[in-house]
Amino acid sequence: MKQIVYTISDSSGETATNFARSMMAQFNEIDTTQKRYSFIKDIDQLTRILQHAQQDQALVFYTLSNPEFDQIVKNFDHDKHMLCFDILSPYLTMIEAFTGQKASHEIGAARKLSTQYFKRIEAIDFAAENDDGKNPHSMVEADVVLLGISRTSKTPLTFYLANQEIKVMNLPLVPSVQLPDELWEIDPQKIVGLTNDEEVLRKIREERMLSYGLKAQTNYSSTEKIQQELQYAQNLYDQLGCLVINVANKSIEEVAAIIEEKLQLNTFSAN
């Protein structure tokens, strides 16, 4: 089955787009085409989009801070018997009732240059400056230090967490390379050791060799080499007493969630 999905917003549309993607991901038998319409400025523009959505028999997910725009979609939904999902208004109404405060209905409120915004930029800059163990002296400034042998998702995880305003540095583990002294000076609660299944790691490394135009079977991708590196890393993690996460068959989001939960627990413990 094929289904067209419209996401409509008077801001960037990220919330509606991500929400729609999450909803449609639950339907494996539906082939979804998503059309995104952002920064809606006037009623005529919005009406034309809704008319196209009707012609496409589309599902509509929308976030419209402008109350007039919001009502237009609701009227169109009712008159044309379309399926339109208002992602903002029902929740804002409930929060208003619960808190006794009125929502601002400010367009793009989540994207304002707030303290959180600057914290995220700072964390991303920190990640870029400290990727792949570039500046071990900065380790004491990090919220999290990721350790792992090659192909354990250190870099993508570092930048994913940075987007959550977490300052992360990652350090590659190579048995022949001496570890920086700073690693033994920081709180082990800040350290996360990443590991992987031997077979998964071998396949990843073989594919990496092939992408370079080399043979799949090299010392880098050999079973013996991988076993040695995995054991070296595990011995280090045991010495440090740090959290260890096996990234095999886990998404970046899943691993990040485990780390964020650990950070929250550490914060609660400190308090």
CA distance 214 to 108: 48
Please tell me whether 154 is known to bind a ligand. Answer: yes
Burial 17-39 (b: 16+ CB within 10 A, else e): bebbeeebeeeeeeebebebbee
CB-based contact 132:174 (threshold 8 Å) = no
Is 149 flagged in the annotation as binding?
Answer: yes
Q: Is the pLDDT assigned to residue 62 strictly greater than 70?
A: yes
Query: Is 203 labeled as ligand-binding?
Result: no
2-111 fold: Rossmann fold (3.40.50)
Angle of helix 115-129 versus helix 154-162 axis, rounded to 10: 160
Residue 153 assigned as binding residue: yes
Q: Which residues have a Cβ under 8 Å from the Cβ of 147 and sit 6 or more positions away?
A: 170, 171, 173, 183, 191, 192, 193, 194, 233, 236, 237, 242
Residue 111: its pLDDT value, please?
60
CATH of 115-270, one of 1.10.260, 3.40.50, 1.10.3470, 3.60.15: 3.40.50
> Is there a binding annotation on residue 7?
no
- Within 10 Å of residue 40's Cβ, how many Cβ atoms? 19
**93 in a known ligand binding site:** no
In the chain, where the domains are located: 2-111, 115-270
The helix or strand, by DSSP H or E, that contains position 148, with its residue range, turns out to be strand 144-148
Confidence grade of residue 88 (pLDDT, cut at 50, 70, 90): confident
Binding site annotation covers 30? Answer: no
Model confidence at 131: pLDDT above 90: yes
Euclidean distance between CA atoms 75 and 149, whole angstroms: 57
Binned at pLDDT 50, 70 and 90, residue 239 comes out as: very high
> 150: annotated binding-site residue?
yes
Task: Report the predicted TM-score, pTM, of the whole model to 2 decimal places.
Answer: 0.70
Structure-model confidence comparison of residues 246 and 262, the more confident one? 246
Name the 3-class secondary structure at 78: helix
